[in-house]
Amino acid sequence: MDYKNCTLCPRQCGVDRTVGETGFCGMGDTALIARAAPHHWEEPVICGEHGAGAVFFSGCTLKCIYCQNETISHGPCGRAVTAKELRKIFEALVAQGCSCIDLVTPTHFLPTIIPALTPKLPIPVVYNCGGYERVETLKRLEGLVDIYLPDFKYADDALAARYSAAPDYAETAVAAIREMFRQTGPIHYNKEGMLEKGVIIRHLVLPGQVGNSLGVLDELEAMFRPGDVLFSVMSQYTPMGSAVDQLHRPITEEEYDGVLSYMELLGLEDGFVQEFSSADEKYIPDWE
């Protein structure tokens, strides 16, 4: 696994990032981190009292047009690090008492990240991604990642093509999440009630797209048994200037309640929902 002939993500651009070529993610062969600090707004079972040790990487393999982290996902931003420097950052977050190392949008920098994860850290490693992952790439993470935290954004591929330029999103995410679950097995907690191993699947409800959310829940209900994984259905969509369709507005309380009602109907009871007030720009980190 390296940056030459890059096939890390499902787009498989095939560019040589070591000589300055860039593919969809827009990144070269040097890992860029936009922020590394305790983060208190992840799900409670991975946050703990002192927060998750979140390392936000610049660039993205999806670049959704509504991304609340557009500053870092759509362009280079932040500090360049080597694998050795990244390891020191992980160890500093451990020393601060963080409950886990939370790798946020890491896929396109895995050749730098993987060496930094060995030897094994004393706290769980969380792989926090958009769900658009290659199974072949995920297999290289077996034994290194304890908790997978993927999005499952779309059941509607037309919507995925329009919003994330990923018309194969649904089948790709299903295969990726199955591989994640194969690696971790069912959710497992430590004696303090913190998650040690498992998969938490996130879904962000989008304005005007309740049908897509119901389709996602149908897929998840068919894939897993109670207790296999955790679900996190989010209301935090925040308009970031995109004007297509209804993306210029927040979701309504009726839209969110409709999705939660369907979730209850399907028996998807293991996981988390958000307070409706979570849609606010104050929850977006300061990339300065």
Strand partners for 37 = 54
What does the block give as tokens for 11? Answer: 């787009």
What's the CATH architecture for 35-52+81-283?
A: Alpha-Beta Horseshoe (3.80)
Residues 108 and 111: their CA atoms lie apart, in Å, by 8
Sign, CA torsion 203/169/196/81: negative
The full set of domain ranges for the chain reads: 35-52+81-283
Could you read off the pLDDT tens digit of each residue along the chain, which spans 288 residues?
899 999 999 999 999 999 999 999 999 999 999 999 999 989 999 998 899 999 999 999 999 999 988 778 877 788 999 999 999 999 999 999 999 999 999 999 999 999 999 999 999 999 999 999 999 999 999 999 999 999 999 999 999 999 999 999 999 999 999 999 999 999 999 999 999 999 999 999 999 999 999 999 999 999 999 999 999 999 999 987 666 888 999 999 999 999 999 999 999 989 999 887 554 554 454 534
Residues 21 and 6: their CA atoms lie apart, in Å, by 10
From the list 10, 159, 164, 17, the residue with the least C-alpha distance to 76 is: 17
